[in-house]
Structure formats: C-alpha cells, structure tokens
Amino acid sequence: MGTPFNKAFGAGVLAAALMLPSAAWSAGALNVDARAYTCSQISQIIRQSKKVFVRSGFGGSSFRYPPAKCGLGYARTTANFRDKTGKQCALDYACTYDSGSFYNNP
C-alpha cells in the first residue's frame, strides 16, 4: 500500500501517459479556417505543414501528409467542405476517427 500522495501521483502520471498521444497530435497541428483559403491553397498548406486541422463550420477535419501517416485509431478518408469562394473541396487525405478500430474499443 502507499500513501495517498503516492496514489495521487501515480494516477496523475497514468492520466498524463494516456493523454500524451492526443496532446501531441493537437499541439503540432496547424489550425486553418476553410473559408479563408481556396481549395488549392488548403492543399498546399497541408503538403507544407504535414499536420493540419481544417475548420469548416462547427467542426472540422484533421489532415496528415503523406496520407499513409494517419495515427492508430484513425482511418484515411475523403473530407468535403466549402472554401472561401464557395467551391466544394474534396481532399482525399483526411485522418478521421475510426470507431471500428481495435485501438478505439475498450
């Protein structure tokens, strides 16, 4: 058995270890507003920055370049949104949460 401090410290270390992958993903991603750029500009930003979160409306999509680098628990898919000119963009290298993944099931 340990002291209450040791138990709390251990729980804190465990929580930090579990949160590290999601924190590392969000910390390195560049946030881009889809309505501020054209489709070709957004594609170029993704290629240059490698990790980008494109905001479109209330939500958004995470992109990684090259596409094969989606993290565990994520699937490669196509994301559709409108750019600053109102044109429909379809980008094929989005990494979306995969609820059917082995890594996302308890």
- What's CA 30's distance to the chain center, in Å? 10
Q: pLDDT band at 19, cuts 50/70/90?
A: very low
Cβ(66)–Cβ(48) below 8 Å: no
Give the model confidence (pLDDT) of 52-62 as tens digits. 888 887 777 77
* Residue (of 58, 61, 50) closest to 90 by Cα position: 61
**Stretch among 39-48, 65-74, 76-85 having the lowest mean pLDDT:** 65-74
Supply φ then ψ for residue 89, to 5 degrees. -100, 140
Mention every residue, 6+ apart, whose C-beta is less than 8 A from residue 24: none
| Token code pair at residue 36 | 């501020």
